[in-house]
A and B are shown apart, each in its own frame.
Chain A
């Protein structure tokens, strides 16, 4: 399965179990299930209130979608414009076609400073490319400074949620991890540390402050990059972002090429939709914006700024007429919190730094559908459509899921590393079996379906002649009506009679 699967080191781990297998672990872990349920339901309710507060939400959502679509449509020109703006403002722009190249660029930049340690702000892009591991291999220690990321890093664990990556850990576990691991990384946890959140946060503050104050190199991602001005934007809560962005002498930001917006004014849309949709706040506690470097006289923040523009599968995704809308994503995580499958399966089951509905459409596009996990991800959904409803940039996730199912089962032309290739159908392969198990898992749970009344037929552009997925495999070449007239759930139950218990 690996011949087309190149250039993705350490992500996913080579033998990552397919979706339903990994999901089973989560279902059997009551702590995880309880935490997840509590988290997703709490955030969901808060978010609904934060969104209801702005009467023009629908118009903001539409504008956000249009801005992102417009940017993607002219991405080459905006990338060049951004490069010019950042360079004019004193920054240096690097281009990385894949994870390896990005890691090499960053490692070389760090080595050129003579430093052996860096502080990091939480960044999906650097997790995606496995930057910490790559730096470690070069003898450079990368310290995560977001509280949840610190918990994950000290616990030698993986993040399970975009917004609250340590949501699978409860306070007792966090206390134990701090007490046991902090001393190996720096300042030890205070004696007699209890498990109250305030004390745990204080322990993290002390542990990390030492690192911030001596850090010479900071590494970040960015939520937005403004082509017109060269401004980068980081949205955060704890202040660790501000620390990493302002105290070090050198700042390296690794950002996916899809994070561009054309103009300064465009931020007025996303700075309203992102906080409300993500942390359910009117505004998150801290947002930093910087444009290149400042001149010596007023020197404020890093003297050296490097921007690494990351492709790593994004241009391949852009080449897919249906799938490219996934690049609109602003990583708010709202779709995770409404997803009945995510709630049961947990973030780890998605085998990627991008869990939940967005992960189910992004990972198989960024990485291709050759591996079992990536072939099974488009099936990790009941197509209920709740993700589309909450998405602040209106990504039609069910539409992309159906499209990717078709790709898995029927093969067809895709772009991989810039080249057009024709995929063979997964029929009869391990990938197909993994996909079917995932579908069975997602569909056979009444709980997962209770909210799932939306139709496969609601997808607008994609009208497959044969229903992709297990349907195709199990119904032979039976042609379907141009648009399936019955809900997917009904179709499933009718054709499979709910027989599969899908443990």
Chain B
């Protein structure tokens, strides 16, 4: 007998006392599982507190900063200037660029662009100073940005190997309040990276040390002037 059959057989025998008891569980297809929903009491909150859109963005900024990300705010027009300034202050001479980062973002930047390519070796990425990306969604309650590998974000490793990551978040469009709302917007089929502050460890006598392996400096630029994505999405669904 294969181990697969052995394990499944053991599970079934182990559950002999509960087999009869209730719900047929397995969701038939994604997005529709009424019986499963009935089995779980989801009376927890979809979000904590009652905030205006502006307050939600402020909370995001506050929580990002609390976990020691450097937070900047600007308008769409100011963005190229801000990115140029941040890279210059850092002294970066090379910057990794995802394939479809809006070209205008880096128009004021001098640093050498290094493109995100499948062939690049990790050692090559290790020689690049900074990386600039967009994001998929940002979660205010936890101060989290999520990358999903879309063309304005690139492969997971480009935001991992360089020591300096600048992430641009369009507010309020890309901001949600809570973890449940964040998951709703994400596609499980994509490789996802949730980032809440720069990497950290407390392994030595519980002293928090920022930056072990990921980028030791995380800068988040909140760019205002973009429409709430939620509206766009719901219109789209209504069609």
**Residues of the B chain whose Cβ atoms lie less than 8 Å from the Cβ of A283:** 139, 142-144, 179, 194, 196
**Bound-complex Cα distance A80 to B26 (A):** 10
**Residues of the A chain whose Cβ atoms lie less than 8 Å from the Cβ of B197:** 285
**Residues of the B chain whose Cβ atoms lie less than 8 Å from the Cβ of A97:** 3, 6-7
Residue among B26, B30, B63, B195 making CB contact with A286, cutoff 8 Å: B195
**Bound-complex Cα distance A321 to B188 (A):** 34
**Bound-complex Cα distance A269 to B190 (A):** 20
| A284-B196, A300-B191 known; A238-B9 Cβ under 8 A | no
**Bound-complex Cα distance A283 to B200 (A):** 12
Contact A197 B7 (CB under 8 A): no
Write out, one digit per residue, whether chain B residues 30-65 have a CB within 8 A of any chain A CB (1) or not (0). Answer: 100100100111111100100000000000000100
A residues 411-426 in Cβ contact with B at 8 Å: 415, 418
**Residues of the B chain whose Cβ atoms lie less than 8 Å from the Cβ of A77:** 25-26
Contact B205 A170 (CB under 8 A): yes
Contact A67 B180 (CB under 8 A): no
B202 within 8 A of A: yes
Contact A239 B213 (CB under 8 A): yes
- Nearest-CB distance from A79 to chain B (Å)? 7
**Residues of the A chain whose Cβ atoms lie less than 8 Å from the Cβ of B30:** 228-229, 264
**Residues of the B chain whose Cβ atoms lie less than 8 Å from the Cβ of A66:** 39-41
**Residues of the A chain whose Cβ atoms lie less than 8 Å from the Cβ of B157:** 246-247, 300-301
**Residues of the B chain whose Cβ atoms lie less than 8 Å from the Cβ of A184:** none
Contact B11 A75 (CB under 8 A): yes
| A268-B183, A272-B179 known; A55-B48 Cβ under 8 A | yes
**Bound-complex Cα distance A205 to B61 (A):** 29
**Bound-complex Cα distance A275 to B211 (A):** 18
A residues 56-96 in Cβ contact with B at 8 Å: 56, 59-60, 62-63, 66-67, 70, 73-81, 89, 95-96
Most buried by B among A264, A285, A287, A318: A285
Closest to B43 in A: A59
Residue among A200, A214, A242, A294 making CB contact with B214, cutoff 8 Å: A242
Residue among A148, A237, A262, A264 making CB contact with B25, cutoff 8 Å: A262
Contact B40 A147 (CB under 8 A): no
Contact A282 B23 (CB under 8 A): no
**Bound-complex Cα distance A59 to B43 (A):** 6
Chain B, interface residues (CB within 8 Å), range: 35 or more
**Bound-complex Cα distance A173 to B152 (A):** 45
- Nearest-CB distance from A239 to chain B (Å)? 3
**Bound-complex Cα distance A220 to B205 (A):** 25
The segment from B12-20, B86-94, B104-112 found at the interface with A is B12-20
Residue among A238, A239, A246, A267 making CB contact with B183, cutoff 8 Å: A267
B75 within 8 A of A: no
Contact A300 B149 (CB under 8 A): yes
B230 within 8 A of A: no
Residue among B8, B10, B212 making CB contact with A204, cutoff 8 Å: B212
Residue among B4, B190, B202 making CB contact with A95, cutoff 8 Å: B4
The segment from A34-42, A428-436, A474-482, A493-501 found at the interface with B is A34-42
The segment from B76-84, B118-126, B219-227 found at the interface with A is B118-126
**Residues of the B chain whose Cβ atoms lie less than 8 Å from the Cβ of A189:** none
**Bound-complex Cα distance A246 to B213 (A):** 13
**Residues of the B chain whose Cβ atoms lie less than 8 Å from the Cβ of A266:** 40
Contact A242 B156 (CB under 8 A): yes
Residue among B3, B14, B160 making CB contact with A246, cutoff 8 Å: B160
**Residues of the B chain whose Cβ atoms lie less than 8 Å from the Cβ of A151:** 203
**Residues of the A chain whose Cβ atoms lie less than 8 Å from the Cβ of B231:** none
Write out, one digit per residue, whether chain A residues 96-114 have a CB within 8 A of any chain B CB (1) or not (0). Answer: 1100010000000000000
**Residues of the A chain whose Cβ atoms lie less than 8 Å from the Cβ of B205:** 35, 38, 170-171, 197
**Residues of the A chain whose Cβ atoms lie less than 8 Å from the Cβ of B141:** 282
Residue among B48, B118, B180, B193 making CB contact with A287, cutoff 8 Å: B193
**Residues of the B chain whose Cβ atoms lie less than 8 Å from the Cβ of A243:** 160, 213
A401 within 8 A of B: no
- Nearest-CB distance from A97 to chain B (Å)? 5
Closest to A298 in B: B149
Question: Count of chain A residues with Cβ under 8 Å from any Cβ of B?
Answer: 106
**Bound-complex Cα distance A415 to B190 (A):** 40
- Nearest-CB distance from B56 to chain A (Å)? 15
B235 within 8 A of A: no
**Residues of the A chain whose Cβ atoms lie less than 8 Å from the Cβ of B188:** 226, 229, 231, 264, 289, 291
**Residues of the B chain whose Cβ atoms lie less than 8 Å from the Cβ of A197:** 204-205, 207, 209
Closest to B8 in A: A76
Contact A315 B14 (CB under 8 A): yes
Closest to B188 in A: A229
**Residues of the A chain whose Cβ atoms lie less than 8 Å from the Cβ of B192:** 287-290
- Nearest-CB distance from B82 to chain A (Å)? 24
Contact B196 A311 (CB under 8 A): no
- Nearest-CB distance from A280 to chain B (Å)? 10
Closest to A289 in B: B192
Residue among A264, A288, A299 making CB contact with B118, cutoff 8 Å: A299
- Nearest-CB distance from B177 to chain A (Å)? 12
Contact B191 A289 (CB under 8 A): yes
B189 within 8 A of A: yes
| A164-B202, A201-B204, A418-B13 known; A262-B27 Cβ under 8 A | yes
- Nearest-CB distance from A49 to chain B (Å)? 12
| A212-B122, A240-B213, A265-B183 known; A174-B160 Cβ under 8 A | no
| A262-B27, A272-B179 known; A286-B194 Cβ under 8 A | yes
Closest to B198 in A: A285
**Residues of the B chain whose Cβ atoms lie less than 8 Å from the Cβ of A54:** 48
**Residues of the B chain whose Cβ atoms lie less than 8 Å from the Cβ of A147:** 201, 203-204, 212
Contact B7 A257 (CB under 8 A): yes
**Residues of the B chain whose Cβ atoms lie less than 8 Å from the Cβ of A208:** 213
A485 within 8 A of B: no
A390 within 8 A of B: no
Residue among B8, B44, B156, B195 making CB contact with A63, cutoff 8 Å: B44
Listed A/B pairs (28) with beta-carbon separation below 8 Å: A35-B205, A39-B206, A63-B43, A76-B12, A95-B3, A95-B7, A97-B6, A97-B7, A147-B203, A165-B203, A171-B204, A198-B209, A205-B212, A213-B126, A214-B123, A237-B212, A238-B214, A239-B199, A242-B193, A263-B27, A283-B144, A286-B194, A288-B193, A289-B188, A289-B192, A290-B192, A301-B191, A315-B7
Given contacts A63-B40, A281-B196, 5 further A-B contacts (CB under 8 A): A171-B205, A238-B200, A285-B67, A311-B3, A318-B11
